[in-house]
């Protein structure tokens, strides 16, 4: 049986060559140039397709083996995507907002207590510790990858998104096994690589895969549903939920719950739900210091239920209480990029909340630019309602899942977490393109049938 996706590729290629041939008839003396252009175009499209497949296949692997690998993966994909940058593949307005945020962050390094006075550029670790320098390359490479994947063919998007969805489903089943046996398989892999991991650290590292799967949950479910794979859907959903509860990862559980509520709300109420999310996100970034200050003074660790309340949540409350007080000391320009590192006894690693970290380090300008970015993103999702309401709901759920985890777990500048954000945008785009190509109801693919 003829593969309809392959047929679509053939039809696209025929159309391109026919267009080139028509130009040749009008100008016979320029026959060679169109042929060369078509050849270059075909090579570039093959390269774009390869980048999409690499991302789809390696994302589940890296999510399980080591989440830190997302940073080099997306960076390398972005380097490979630089050849596509130009007028026809210009970044969106979101890139401009992030560029403004980056510039302000770099300016803030001039007063940040965490900025090295005389950095030693001869040592990799010293360069790697300079957050501002990393952010410049991350915006360039991650942005190039996202921009290039916007122009991937619907055929490639359908295949790549299905590879990704099936891979994450296999990973979810593996997580259940690992959650039951103390990540023995992960420890065996590490030992084979001569890099033994402590059992507690191995369990923590494997559990990090739940964060990635929670962010990509709804696009993956939609793609598997479109492919009519109910058993695979059951494996993905069941595996992720079981492993998340066994591993006791609070943030992914909350992200799954809130994301599901958002998905249903957008499907039911449409644009009203999107604008409510937009307003709520703006309020979150605008009022985070005030809300954190009030809430943390109202709650005490002994008032929180269970061991989790006495440990991780108690630590979060202490951090947020301290950070909200420091924000009020310097609310306009902030303490400078990476200033969170200046209070190691009160802020271990980072504030564990994206909005509070932006306020603390970049002040009101940084928080406002972040709110503007998310407002733009929700605005684009609202535009999607007119053509694919279900995909708009999945995209909104993905955004809320990312915001939820970012508000509870990771530092806003962590390169691997920013890379996951880029992959989330790309995944939503791939699944959306696949939905345009292949109808969910299993009807005949009439758009692939030549007239």
Percentage above 90 pLDDT, the chain: 59
Would the pTM of this model clear 0.85, i.e. be above it?
yes
What is the structure's pLDDT at 232?
A: 96
427-448, pLDDT tens digit by residue? 999 999 999 987 664 433 333 3
Mean pLDDT (the chain) is 84
Q: Which residue would you say has higher pLDDT here, 154 or 118?
A: 154
280-294, pLDDT tens digit by residue? 999 999 998 887 777
What is the structure's pLDDT at 121?
A: 55
Instruction: Specify whether the CB–CB gap between 104 and 366 falls below 8 A.
Output: yes
Of 205-219, 356-370, 429-443, least confident by mean pLDDT is 429-443
Instruction: Specify whether the CB–CB gap between 320 and 292 falls below 8 A.
Output: yes
Q: Which residue would you say has higher pLDDT here, 11 or 335?
A: 335
What is the structure's pLDDT at 23?
A: 47
Question: How many distinct structural domains can be found in the chain?
Answer: 1
- Range 382-387 contact pairs with CB under 8 angstroms and sequence separation of 24 or more: 382/271, 382/274, 382/275, 382/278, 384/432, 385/266, 385/270, 385/271, 385/274
92-123, pLDDT tens digit by residue? 789 999 999 999 999 999 998 887 655 555 55
Range of the domain at 268: 4-448
Distance CA 303, CA 300 (A): 5
pLDDT at 297 > cutoff 90: no
SS (H, E, C) 42-89: HHHHHHHHHHHHHHHHHHHHHHHHCHHHHHHHHHHHHHHHHHHCCHHH
What is the structure's pLDDT at 283?
A: 94
Angle (CA) 279 285 288, round 5°:
115
Reported as a pLDDT band with limits 50, 70 and 90, residue 238 is very high
User: Measuring CA to CA, how many Å separate 252 from each of 211, 249, 257, 400?
Assistant: 5, 6, 9, 11
CA Rg value for the chain: 23
Three-class secondary structure of residue 346 per DSSP: coil
Angle (CA) 301 303 304, round 5°:
70
User: Measuring CA to CA, how many Å separate 315 from each of 53, 305, 329?
Assistant: 41, 14, 22
């Amino acid at each position: 049986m003829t593969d309809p996706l392959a047929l679509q590729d053939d039809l696209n290629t025929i159309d391109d060559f026919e267009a080139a041939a028509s130009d040749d008839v009008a100008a016979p003396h320029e026959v060679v140039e169109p042929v060369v252009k078509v050849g270059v175009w075909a090579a570039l499209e093959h390269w774009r397709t390869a980048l999409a497949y690499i991302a789809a296949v390696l994302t589940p692997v890296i999510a399980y083996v080591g989440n830190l690998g997302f940073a080099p993966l997306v960076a390398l994909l972005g380097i490979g995507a630089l050849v596509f940058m130009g007028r026809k593949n210009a970044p969106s307005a979101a890139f401009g907002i992030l560029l403004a945020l980056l510039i302000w962050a770099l300016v803030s390094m001039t007063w940040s207590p965490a900025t090295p006075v005389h950095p030693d550029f001869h040592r990799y670790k010293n360069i790697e510790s300079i957050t501002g320098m990393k952010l410049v390359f991350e915006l360039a490479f991650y942005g190039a990858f996202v921009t290039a994947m916007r122009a991937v063919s619907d055929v490639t998007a359908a295949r790549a998104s299905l590879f990704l969805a099936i891979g994450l489903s296999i990973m979810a089943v593996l997580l259940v096994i690992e959650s039951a046996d103390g990540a023995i398989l992960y420890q065996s892999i590490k030992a084979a690589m001569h890099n033994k991991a402590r059992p507690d650290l191995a369990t923590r590292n494997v559990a990090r895969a739940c964060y990635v799967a929670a962010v990509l949950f709804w696009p993956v479910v939609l793609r598997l549903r479109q492919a009519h794979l109910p058993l695979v859907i059951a494996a993905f959903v069941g595996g992720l939920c079981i492993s998340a509860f066994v591993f006791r990862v609070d943030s992914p559980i909350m992200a799954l719950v809130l994301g599901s509520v958002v998905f249903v709300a957008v499907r039911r109420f449409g644009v009203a739900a999107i604008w409510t999310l937009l307003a709520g996100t703006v309020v979150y970034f605008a009022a985070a210091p005030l809300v954190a200050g009030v809430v943390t003074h109202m709650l005490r660790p002994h008032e929180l239920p269970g061991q989790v309340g006495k440990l991780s949540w108690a630590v979060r409350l202490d951090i947020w209480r301290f950070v909200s007080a420091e924000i009020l000391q310097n609310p306009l320009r902030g303490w400078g990029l990476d200033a969170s590192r200046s209070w190691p006894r009160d802020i271990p690693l980072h504030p564990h909340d994206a909005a509070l970290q932006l306020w603390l380090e970049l002040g009101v300008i940084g928080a406002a630019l972040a709110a503007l970015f998310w407002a733009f993103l929700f605005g684009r999702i609202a535009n999607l309602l007119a053509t694919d309401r279900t995909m708009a709901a999945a995209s909104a759920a993905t955004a809320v899942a990312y915001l939820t985890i970012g508000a509870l777990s990771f530092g806003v500048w962590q390169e691997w977490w920013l890379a996951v954000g880029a992959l989330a945008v790309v995944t939503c785009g791939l699944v959306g393109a696949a939905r345009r190509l292949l109808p969910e109801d299993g009807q005949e693919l009439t758009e692939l049938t030549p007239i």
